Amino acid sequence: MTTRRDFHRASIGALACLPGSSIHALGALGRLAPLTGAAGAAALVTATSASHAATGTGPYQWRSVPFGGAGFVNGFVFHPREAGLLYARTDIGGLYRFDAVGQRWLPLLDHLGRDDADLMGVLSIALDPGNPDRVYAACGTYTGEWARKAALLTSSDRGLTWRTTELGIKLGGNEAGRGTGERLQVDPTDPRVLWLGTTRDGLMKSTDSGLSFKRVSFPGQHVSLVLIDPSTGSGNAPVLWVGCTDQPGLFVSRDGGASFSRETATPAQVPQRAALGPQGDLYISFTAGGPGEVPNPGYARTGSVWRRTPAGAWTEISPIKAGAQPLGFGYSGVAVDARAPGRLVVSTLERWGAGDELFLSTDHGASWTPLAARSRMDSSGWPWLDNFQQGRRRMGHWMADVQIDPFNGERAVYGTGYGVWMTGNLGAPQVQWAFTVKNLEETAALEIKSPSGGAALLAAMGDHAGGAWDDLDNTPRTGLFAPTSETNRSVDFAWLNPGVVARTSDAAATGGYLSLDGGASWSPFGPSPRATKTPQGWTAPAGRVAVSAKGGFLVWAPERQAAMWSRDRGRSWQLCEGWPTDRESTLEPVADRHVEGVFHVFDRANGTILSSVDGGRSFQIVVKGLAKLQAWQTAQLVAAPGAARHLWLALPQGLLHLPGAEQAPRAARLITEAWLVSVGKGAPGSAHHSVFVWGKANLGGQVSDGLFRSDDGGSTFVRVDDPRHRYGRLLSICADPLEHGTVFIAPHGRGVLVGRPA
């Protein structure tokens, strides 16, 4: 257990009496003197005193901070010939292999860096039936113009190392339709042959174990699944079953993929999943959405389940049939017991009324047993899930895939929009399911902070609110943010009074909450002039909040709206005067860590820093001549403790250090590009705090991107990540103010991780 902080209760108690409307000890900031001319322009060219850096990598140990799943796990593949070998894919969090001995998941794509972050979206997995060490992953998160092109990742050691083959197309691992599959298959009769169904580029084939692919003639563009039937068609070629989304229906090739025809006995719905029984029966689930909708995980309006006998006869075997009216839900997962002919399980999809569930059959689908009523769901150890479900959606939602262990028909696994359930007694009168998400962390923590006292970590998360961790070895129990199902955009605390914590929430009626006890209890913000809807009618993102040094004032900047300030800890709000007028960028207020009532903001559009010395009431320019950025460019301003207006600014052009109110900005010359920055406890005996930068650094004459630390005010840097631990795109970082060298990172879809010097 790594609980390491005692709340500074005496100081918190004293500071809690601070009048919200008073500002003390403004010092030199009482009169704002902007830096202009040479002082401002020099910000990007002035070097620090030292001209060299440590060139070695600081060895760090990285591990997940437990929350527990909390993301869409949309596909599983068991190896057919090696017992216990199981993989899981996610839409934004990479690929995992299950460690049955430790009952935990092993992340396999943490080596991907920022430029390859889109490969963390895994659209499909394929295993070589004849080689348990060989695994393939078709990776690509989005198909938009701005997205990275997709790649096939190939491993010959079960995911320890990978070869990357660029595909030249884009895949939608986090787009509509991602719950279907599998789209990637290895021909069981010839392991050199791979088939890949794509998001918008039809069907592709490789004959050299994935080194290259060529498109084959196929009627559709958006392929939902590929299944290879080892029973032969004409000329000993395998039979291929291919599902299509844009030409809804099932297609078959009996000549090894040379030609395809529509299987007209099946419905004009989108095939979701397919499974071959041990005697050659084929089972397929179907779902249909409305016009223009791509089902799975959403947009399921109706659906069905079908069986094809070895003789070629098709029969609908849906547990609940649509009849003349749409079901209001569809079907997705389908799996067979490889050792018991006729035994199979299917899952519903988007059945919001009664809740999604599994159905089990032992007679080829002639009759079904619903499993929800006879299932016992054990989520012990993961208290956030109880808060999230609140007795609803008992078996889960977005149940895109279910699989039965080919070596043990009682063992099954299925995924949901928030994690993984496993059982070892599928056919029992009372089925025991365990929430099995140890080391599978898929939350998107949008902002993380490490307070100066109290909790070790605060995290504002998309979809699941977040929480406060006192113990970094376990998911929060008493520190969970509520309601658990809301997206929280931001969290901040009072540096000199860390019991005061504020967070913003998109779904909250007033946009946010305030705590006076370190996150144990919360009060909603009072009314404010913010807009709750975007011009398009969507819920307006709640944006960023900053808490003053002693907790008496708040500044809140809802996304793309004017900022507001509060002198009574969020009970009432007024618009800030002098706040930047740019509404294309998300402007982030920053509280000074040294002086109460002082706030700062970087105006990206105009290349200026503005400060307020009256609790956020008004802002004035204090630094001019910085780089002007486009709305899509990344920048971050943070405040350091110990001095008034002590700031660090991460920019596409590098890293700036603003040591104090009367000192000009200086550039950390070794950092050539900076995306995120945070400050933490300094090294023993050092007068400087530590600085962590996610960006690009020139170490030893070589520029590389990664996570770097400086212990001497930005003169030298050491790299703290390594080629196996890069984690794609980071959303937030925060250095520990009480433990030198400790840093928390929040990758997109990989939860929160903590790194410490080895």
pLDDT of residue 660: 87
On the question of pLDDT at 23 being above 70, the answer is no
pLDDT of residue 483: 86
**Where are the chain's structural domains?**
22-62+443-757, 68-435
pLDDT band at 58 (very low <50, low <70, confident <90, very high): low
Name the E strands within 128-257. 135-139, 151-155, 163-166, 184-186, 194-197, 203-206, 214-216, 223-232, 238-244, 249-253
pLDDT tens per residue across span 119-178: 999 999 999 999 999 999 999 999 999 999 999 999 999 999 999 999 999 999 999 999
Give the count of alpha carbons within 13 A of 116, CB side only. 20
**One-letter amino acid for residue 153 of the chain:** L
pLDDT of residue 386: 85
pLDDT of residue 663: 82
pTM for this entry: 0.92
Give the other-Cβ count within 10 Å of 157's Cβ. 10
pLDDT of residue 584: 78
pLDDT tens per residue across span 489-499: 999 999 999 99
Residues in the chain: 758
- Over residues 529-534, mean pLDDT: 92
pLDDT of residue 352: 87
On the question of pLDDT at 460 being above 50, the answer is yes
Residue of 137, 130, 133, 169 whose CA lies nearest to 154: 137
Is domain 68-435 in CATH 2.130.10.10, yes or no?
yes
Residue 283 zone, left/alpha/beta (φ > 0; ψ -120 to 50; rest): beta
Q: Which residue has the higher pLDDT, 706 or 52?
A: 706
213 close to 190: Cβ distance less than 8 angstroms: no
Q: Which two tokens stand for residue 408?
A: 């043990």
Longest dimension (CA), the chain: 88
Residue 505 zone, left/alpha/beta (φ > 0; ψ -120 to 50; rest): beta
Q: Which listed CATH number (2.130.10.10, 2.60.120.330, 3.90.190.20, 3.40.190.10) goes with 22-62+443-757?
A: 2.130.10.10
Catalytic residue among 281, 463, 705, 721: 463
599 close to 617: Cβ distance less than 8 angstroms: no
Residue of 653, 657, 749, 663 whose CA lies nearest to 710: 657
- Over residues 327-348, mean pLDDT: 97
pLDDT of residue 272: 99
On the question of pLDDT at 233 being above 70, the answer is no
- Over residues 639-658, mean pLDDT: 96
pLDDT of residue 393: 62
- CA dist., res. 232 & res. 69, Å (int): 41
- Over residues 315-321, mean pLDDT: 96
pLDDT tens per residue across span 653-662: 999 999 987 7
On the question of pLDDT at 14 being above 60, the answer is no
- CA dist., res. 752 & res. 93, Å (int): 12
- Over residues 717-735, mean pLDDT: 97
Q: How high does pLDDT run on average in the chain?
A: 91
Q: Which two tokens stand for residue 409?
A: 């028909």
pLDDT of residue 41: 36
- Over residues 666-676, mean pLDDT: 97
- Contacts of residue 658, Cβ cutoff 8 Å, sequence gap at least 6: 609, 623, 645, 646, 647, 648, 649, 664, 665, 666
Q: Please give the share of the chain, as a percent, with pLDDT higher than 90.
A: 84
Q: Give me the long-range contacts of 75-78 (CB less than 8 A, separation at least 24).
A: 75/122, 75/124, 75/125, 75/179, 75/181, 75/182, 75/400, 75/401, 75/415, 76/401, 76/402, 76/403, 76/413, 76/414, 76/415, 77/125, 77/126, 77/127, 77/182, 77/403, 78/403, 78/405, 78/406
pLDDT of residue 5: 52
pLDDT tens per residue across span 173-219: 999 999 999 999 999 999 999 999 999 999 999 999 999 999 999 99
- Over residues 463-468, mean pLDDT: 94
Q: Verify whether residue 91 is a known catalytic residue.
A: yes
Give the other-Cβ count within 10 Å of 451's Cβ. 27
On the question of pLDDT at 8 being above 80, the answer is no
pLDDT tens per residue across span 90-121: 999 999 999 999 999 999 999 999 999 999 99
- Over residues 733-753, mean pLDDT: 98
On the question of pLDDT at 55 being above 90, the answer is no
On the question of pLDDT at 35 being above 70, the answer is no
pLDDT of residue 325: 73
pLDDT band at 373 (very low <50, low <70, confident <90, very high): very high
300 close to 289: Cβ distance less than 8 angstroms: yes
